[in-house]
Amino acid sequence: MNPLLVAAVEFHHFLPEREIPYAIIGGIAVQFWGEPRGTRDLDLTIAVPTERTKEILEALLARFTCRIPDAAEFARQNRVVPLLASNGAPVGVSLGLPGYAVNVGPKGCVMFTPSRVTNYRDFIGLDSELWAASFFFLANRGILLPPGPDDQWTLSVQHSDAEIDRYLATFREFARDLTA
């Protein structure tokens, strides 16, 4: 069997046992959707609540071999943990923020809630301080959003690829600073 798929099975057992949501990304995920693509490692992103970052990072580093010296510091700075599965397959684990996609459509937004927003009760659970921090972080970097968490469409088909890339890079910076 492909060593990367064996590594995927290993992580599939390890992560859910610790209640860590994850998704396979990168070349392996692209192959699943039918696009041939060569890849040399397994890429995963895990949903890491800020209060569990240290615990999850320690669990990963205790269980798997690190590919670089001082992987913990590298992970804190870059939100990526370069590891080796027990079969020696290289694995890149991205420390993502908890989130979900409702669907893929012409526009999208970020909701700062602990769970999926499906009704008004879920919506009133919105973390207004986190939303405000995000709003001003983005505004201070020239990305202006509607000034309210209930009207925060962030991306649409009207944005160019460059604008979307700029937003994603800035939001990634916000997430990294938030979880550092």
Is 28 in the same domain as 70?
yes
CA distance linking residue 83 with residue 60, whole number of Å:
8
Given 70, 96, 122, the domain boundary residue is: 96
CATH number at residue 85: 3.30.460.10
User: Residues 74, 122: one domain?
Assistant: no
- Alpha carbon distance 35, 94 (integer Å): 22
Average pLDDT of the chain is 83
pLDDT tens column, 145-169: 777 766 556 666 667 778 888 888 8
Same domain, 50 and 83: yes
pLDDT at 50: 75
Decide: helix, strand or coil at residue 12.
helix
Higher pLDDT, 105 or 6: 6
**Range of the structural domain that residue 37 is part of:** 3-96
pTM listed for this prediction: 0.62
For 67-80, what is each residue's pLDDT tens digit?
Answer: 999 988 888 888 89
Query: Which residue among 63, 96, 129 closes a domain?
Result: 96
pLDDT at 27: 84
